[in-house]
Amino acid sequence: MNNKLLITLILIIGSFFFACRGPIKEEHKNNVSANPVSLGQKYSIDIKESVIAWKGSMLLASDEEHIGYVYISKGELMIEKGQLIGGTAEIDMHTIEYKDKEHKNSPIKHLKSADYFDVEKFPISTFSIIKTESINGKAESINGENIKVTGNLTIKGITRPITFPAKINAEDEIVKMNGQLIIDRTDWGISFASGKFYNIVADQIVSDDVEFNINIVASESAFRLFTTPK
């Protein structure tokens, strides 16, 4: 009798438990359907049309400016509802070149050495966009708008956040992005001939500031951007 009573109680409790769990299936269903799927656009960077110009100089000798280029190997810009929302770019450090290719004092070999970018060890630098903000306060369109871009820049295996102003233009399924930034090279472990680390004659000090002028052209291809509710 005791065994039968125990089994009966187990069955009653079990049926009550599963009856109470019933509505959770519906709740789970609602949660799944609440995850929105929004449409966006991915613009692949045209590596033939895009270029990054660089400029460095001696600290005191302004006439000893060095100007050149480096090229993007692949990347993309992501646009949603007319706004730049993300993007990535890989820069092939082997492509560093001097503007005046015939210049006898071209610093390219030295720039590729371990004193500077150590290209053999770190052939790729990267930049990934974290967020963008409107400078003009116009959120409805990116076309012709000045924006502030924040992202992570990785050089020589060191990643640091940077922020710089940029301008975006979208026309005929083409996005063009132009921006300028100045970095302190020592933040990325490039300390050769820096006045911060070497006790050398002032006119032999290389400026810590390196200027980059970014010109990106990207073309459109559709993609689905999956987002989760906050």
* CATH number of the structural domain spanning residue 217: 2.40.128.110
Q: Are residues 6 and 55 in the same domain?
A: no
Class of residue 126 by CB neighbours under 10 A (exposed 0-12, middle 13-18, buried 19+): middle
Give me the torsion for CA of 192, 178, 87, 142, rounded to 10°: 150
Q: Are residues 14 and 115 in the same domain?
A: no
Each residue's pLDDT tens digit, 77-132: 998 877 889 999 999 999 999 987 776 557 899 999 999 999 999 999 999 999 99
Q: Are residues 144 and 91 in the same domain?
A: yes
User: What pLDDT sits at residue 96?
Assistant: 95
Residues 198-227, mean pLDDT to the nearest whole number: 78
Q: Are residues 1 and 46 in the same domain?
A: no
Q: What is the mean pLDDT of the chain?
A: 79
User: Distance between CA 56 and CA 111 in Å, rounded?
Assistant: 11
CA diameter of the chain: 105
Q: Are residues 69 and 159 in the same domain?
A: yes
Residues 135-147, mean pLDDT to the nearest whole number: 66
Cα-Cα-Cα-Cα dihedral sign, residues 177, 180, 185, 188: negative
Q: Are residues 95 and 119 in the same domain?
A: yes
* 41 vs 140 pLDDT, higher one: 41
Number of domains composing the chain: 2
Provide the terminal-to-terminal Cα distance of the chain, rounded to the nearest Å: 56
Q: Are residues 150 and 135 in the same domain?
A: yes
Whole-model pTM: value is 0.75
Give me the domain span that covers residue 2: 1-34
Q: Are residues 70 and 142 in the same domain?
A: yes
Is pLDDT above 60 for 75? yes
